[in-house]
Structure 1
Amino acid sequence: MVFGPFVLQWAPPSPNPPAPTPLPDGITRSSIHTQSGPLELLTGLPKTASDDAKPPLFFAHGGFGCAEVWLEYMQYFSARGYPCYAISYRGHGKSWSPCLPTLYFTTRHTMAEDLAAGVRYVEAAESARRGASSTTRVVLVAHSAGGALSQYALSRKMIQVQGFCMLAAVPGFGSWSCYKHWALTAPIHFPYRGFHPRYVLATVPQIHEAFFTAETPIAHVQRFASLLSAYESMLWPVQALFAFVTGPDVLSSITGWGRPSRATESSQKEDASSEPSERLLVLAAEKDVLCTPSVLEDAAQRYSLAYKNMVSSGEIKGVVSTQREIRDNGVRFRVVKGLAHHLQNHEEWEKGADEVRRWLEQL
């Protein structure tokens, strides 16, 4: 048996950034040039001409992920008229990679700067593509630790979006409970793997157990494992263990709360009694052992309460309390049956995509 540390990668990729790999039809790869280095951006545009009524979608991956974990979602939504973009932060996918010690201690704020750079780039690209005179805001769809990173960026006003989907996302109200699954094994694996960041995701069985259902074929997990980054920032998730958002600080960076939903606009003219849309979707996976449905339901309830208080105090313009039922409060919470943490990478990934689509249709 190979000793634990030697099954893991300790050096940056060569070449750096890594060489490009083939992509499905309709998806292209480009680079966003930052002061630190180039970041990978995948793009999937609708094949047919549209009226540009549908918002651009910006996909943000979680820990050890990359832009390619979103390929199925990008193909699904671009085929339905949504311009799609997915970024890889530094050290992930085909973006430039710092050495392990540097990335190990890279802060959450630095990672959020990569996310914000991607959003700004897409805003400019979409505004130019549409011939818009004002900024075209994206709808942000963020997974796992990328969800926590997105909440941080929104709360610190690094970005603004016209909708936010927390897809099996680490909540910004503290994330200790998301790591219960590893509580017994982590103290053993951390020193055994030489304190490497992938100490709990070093093998395919570990990845299978944490990210997928028991029924998922091992060959499917092996293909997915090839997308994971060699190492990761350890400071980024540690900084999310304690609460770093209040609720209103995130919601205030989401625009369009006072606009009637698209579904309402199709049936009646805009007026004071029109139903505003739900701009925040909290989507959980039934069999997720990390960001469990109960953890995400708690986050949804906190954001719902924050929304209600902001409406009452007039902080959200264009919405009055009589327009909303208490059960909604601008936030939608759903649980996808039969899937686990990486619900966008399951064989039945369409289940989650369908929930996101239904939410997008009412924005």
Structure 2
Amino acid sequence: MQHAGLFELNAVVAISAHRSFRAAATELGISPSALSHAIAGLEKRLGVRLINRTTRSVALSEAGERFLARVSPALREIAGAMEDVNEFRDTPAGTLRINLKERAAHQILRPVVAKFLRHYPDMNVELTLEGRPIDIVAEGFDAGIRLAEAVPQDMVAIPCGPETRFIVVGAPDYFARCSVPRSPLDLLTHECIRRRMPSGKLYHWEFEKRGGEQMVLDVPGRLTLDNDSLMVEAALEGVGLAFVSDFWVTGHLAAGTLRAVLDAWTPPFPGLRLYYPRHRHMTAGLRAFVDMIREETKLAAKGGGVHSTSAKPSGDHRERA
């Protein structure tokens, strides 16, 4: 029997991870038909079906699950061996896969990712924007970026910037029609732009006064969105009050097109962190990226580099940023 090649083994892993031939083919850089042909050839040589395919779903068969359980550790060892050899190169090479949210992508793209790609011409970077919390190891990512409080405890976490705040903002046009809230309870009589979380829940606005007093409110509002930049656009149009990261509105506040309220109830807290597994081999590419994050964070503390961003503590809110 002809032995399976490394590409075919990685193809099975990709299909298992994505549950989709199209998504797996995109990851592998080939067409779906080429991937289907490779899997069919592997199944023919093995004499068993590894993948069950219908018009609605793609899943590993029982034989496929057992096959994957045996080959996955070997593939990780092979990848680790290749990375070990990569240490002897003058510069890192390979692909760095990072899972993060939209705001984090905006924050690091120009000061970090663009600079990283210029410095390391043999490196590729794949940023995957994800609203829901995920297991970066199980889903094949080298690292993730989330708020400090949302990072799993067994991960190494590197600061990506300074402290951050979530703030309530409204347009001058809105405040010309409605009173300025002096307390979070006043929001119950205002038009607020509500937030739908990745979990499907409606976010309840969270406030904490300097000194410890806290409030959590299910604010009223006729517009519900799941995207920060759209919330800012709606606030600029005078639709209502938005509760968003200061990252999205710093320029608008400086220009006077938005006004912040309830400042005493929105204290700063730790911002974004780049995180990665504590006990897994650290690739040369990830090490170089971490070093650049640290360098840019130091620059930011001196007035340049990575920009601020953010959210506020407790429960489901961790999905906001």
Q: TM-score w.r.t. structure 1 length?
A: 0.22
Q: Identify the structure with bigger relative contact order (alpha carbons < 8 Å, sequence gap 6+).
A: 2
Richer in strand (by share): 2
Name the structure where helix makes up a greater proportion of residues.
2
TM value normalised by structure 2: 0.24
Please tell me whether Structure 1 or Structure 2 has the larger radius of gyration of its CA atoms: 2
